[in-house]
Amino acid sequence: MDFEFSLVGGKISGPSGILTLMDDLGRALASDPDMLMLGGGNPALVPEMVSLWRERIDVLLATGTMDKLLGQYDPPQGNLQVLASLAKLLKSRFGWNVRIENIAATSGGQTAFFYLFNLLAGKMKNGQHRKILLPLTPEYIGYAPLGLSEEHFVGCRPLISTPDPTQPHIFKYHLDLPAVEQTMQRHAIGALAISRPTNPSGNFLSDEETQQLVELAAAHHVPVIIDNAYGAPFPGVVFRDTVPVWNESIITTFSLSKLGLPGTRTAFVVAAPEIIRAITAMSAVTGLSHGTLGQQMVAGLIESGEILDLGPQILRPFYEKRSQFAVESLTAKLRQHGVNGKIHMSEGAFFLWLWLPDLPIPASELYERLKRRKVLVVPGEPFFFGLEEPWDHARQCLRLNFAQPANVLERAFEIIASEVAAIMKGA
CB 65 within 8 A of CB 309: no
Which of 81-85, 252-256, 283-287, 368-372 has the weakest average pLDDT? 283-287
Calpha distance 213→228 (Å, rounded): 16
Span 340-353, pLDDT tens digits: 999 999 999 999 99
Per-residue pLDDT band for 426 (boundaries 50, 70, 90) equals confident
Evaluate whether 58 touches 406 at the Cβ level (below 8 Å).
Answer: no
Distance CA 259, CA 43 (A): 8
Domains and CATH numbers, the chain: 7-45+311-426 (3.90.1150.10), 74-304 (3.40.640.10)
Q: What is the pLDDT of residue 352?
A: 97
> pTM score, two decimals?
0.92
Q: Please check the confidence at residue 24 and state whether its pLDDT lies above 90.
A: no
* DSSP codes joined into one string, 4-52: ---HHHHHHHS--HHHHHHHHHHHHHHH-TT-EE-SS-PPP--HHHHHH
Nearest to 83 by CA among 271, 237, 240: 271
Q: pLDDT over 70 for what percent of the chain?
A: 93
Is the pLDDT confidence value at 23 over 70? no
pLDDT band at 66 (very low <50, low <70, confident <90, very high): confident
What per-residue confidence (pLDDT) applies to 67? 85
Helix count and strand count (H, E) for the chain: 14, 16
* pLDDT band for position 262 (cuts 50, 70, 90): very high
- For residue 146, pLDDT beyond 60: yes
pLDDT, tens only, 211-256: 999 999 999 999 999 999 999 999 999 999 999 999 999 999 999 9
Q: What pLDDT shows up at residue 427?
A: 57
- Does residue 422 register a pLDDT over 90? yes
How confident is residue 80, by pLDDT bands cut at 50, 70 and 90? very high
Q: Are 304 and 56 in contact (CB under 8 A)?
A: no
Tell me the percentage of the chain whose pLDDT exceeds 90. Answer: 81
Phi, psi of 157 (to 5 degrees): -70, 145
Residue 147 CB contacts under 8 Å (≥ 6 apart), including other chains: 117, 118, 121, 122, 132, 153
Q: What is the pLDDT of residues 159-178, one digit of tens each?
A: 999 999 999 999 999 999 99
pLDDT exceeds cutoff 60 at 373: yes
pLDDT tens by residue, 301-333: 999 999 999 999 999 999 999 999 999 999 999
Maximum Cα interatomic distance, the chain, rounded to a whole number of Å: 65
